[in-house]
Amino acid sequence: MTGPLPLPPVSEPFRLPFHYGALHQIGLDWLVDPGPVRELLAKHHPDLTAAEFDDGRALVSLNYQLYFAQYAFGGGVTQEIEFSAIAFPTGSEGRLPRLSYAQYAQGWDQTKLLGIARLHVVCDNPFAIRAGRELYAEPKYPGRFEVDLPSLNGPAGETWTVRCEAASAGPDAMSEEDPGPLLDLRAELDGLTPVAANSAPVTGYGTDLEGRLLAGPMNVYQPYRWYDLAAPEHSGRTRLTVHAPDGDLGSGILTLLGEGTPAVGAWTYQSPPVAAHNRPYYVPAAPRS
C-alpha cells in the first residue's frame, strides 16, 4: 500500500497560489464521439479516462481567457486559449455522480474529479508559458490574439470574437515575425438568459515529462454564467473556424469536432469593476470683481 505522494515542486521565481487580479473568460462545449477523445487521452494523458454524458458522448471544451496579475514589480496582462477534453483519473469511476451535460455545466460534480485534460494551450505571455509548463505540465506554446469582447467600456452586447494567431516567443516578449491565423471563435449570446453555474474550482489536469498526472484546481470567486445552446434554434450562435488544419491545435480540433458541430453550451466570467472614473462636468467660473 502506497503512502501519501509528495507535492510537485515549485521552481523559482514562481509562487503559488497564483492570484488573478481580473479575469474575463468564455468557454464553448461540444458533445462528441468518445472514440477519438479516448485515443487522444491515451496519447497525452494515459492516466485519465474520458467522461461520458448524454447518450454516452464525450465532452470537449475550448476556452479563452484574458487576465491581469499584479506583481511586486508591477502588472502583467495575459491571453490564452485552452483546448481540453473533460476527463477523470482512471479508477475513480465509483466516486463520480451520473450527470447530464447540463448538470455538469452548472457545477453539480462537487467531487471535482471531472476536470479539463488540456490537449493544447496557446498563450501570448512568455512568463505564463513557462509557468504553465513547469508548474502544471500544460502543453503550452506561444500565440497572439485579436479580440472584440463585451465590456463596460464598449458598446452594449454579449458577443465575443477571438482570433488566435501563431507566434514565436523569446525570453521576455512575443515575436512579430510570420504571424498566421490558427482559429477564429465567435459566440453571439445576446438576448439569452444565462444560469448561474457553481462550477469552480475547476480541476486542470496535466501529465509531466515523467508521465506523472498532475491536478491543479483553479478557484473563481463568483459564479460563471452558463448559456444552454442545445436547442436547434441556437445552432448558429457560435462559429469556430480552423485556419491551420495541419497544426497541432487545428488537427486536434478537427479530429474531435469535425466540421460544423454545433456547441451545446457556453460559459462566461467577467470580473466586476473595482472603480470607475466618472464623466466630468463644467464648474461655473466664480464672478470676478
Q: Residues 167, 175: contact at Cβ < 8 Å?
A: yes
| Number of domains present in the structure of the chain | 1
The number of beta carbons lying within 10 Å of the beta carbon of residue 273 is 9
Range of the domain at 94: 22-270
Condensed to tens digits (0 to 9), the pLDDT of residues 96-109 reads 999 999 999 999 99
pLDDT by residue (tens digit) across 21-49? 999 999 999 999 999 999 999 999 999 99
Instruction: CATH number of the domain at 243, please.
Output: 2.40.400
- 285 inside domain: no
Nearest CA-CA partner of 61 in 226, 231, 191, 196: 226
**Preceding omega of 34 cis (within 30 degrees of 0):** no
Dihedral through CA 127, CA 240, CA 155, CA 230, nearest 10? -120
pLDDT at 191 over 90: yes
203 domain-assigned? yes
Q: Phi-psi region for residue 7, left (φ > 0), alpha (ψ -120 to 50) or beta?
A: beta
Contact 122, 76 (CB under 8 A): no
> Is there a domain that residue 74 lies in?
yes
Query: Does residue 208 lie within any of the structural domains?
Result: yes
Q: How far apart are the first and last CA of the chain?
A: 93
Give the 3-state secondary structure of residue 41: helix
Q: Is residue 83 part of a domain?
A: yes
Least confident of 78-82, 119-123, 279-283, 284-288: 284-288
Grid cell digits, residue 106: 452548472
Q: Is 257 helix (H, G, I), strand (E, B) or coil?
A: helix
Residue 4 in any domain: the answer is no
Whether residue 91 lies inside any domain: the answer is yes
58-87 tens-digit pLDDT: 999 999 999 999 999 999 999 999 999 999
Grid look-up 491565423 returns 181
Domain assignment of residue 44, yes or no: yes
Query: Comparing C-alpha atoms, which of 19, 53, 52, 36 is closest to residue 257?
Result: 36
Query: Which distant-in-sequence residues (6+ apart) come within 8 Å of 234 by Cβ?
Result: 192, 228, 262
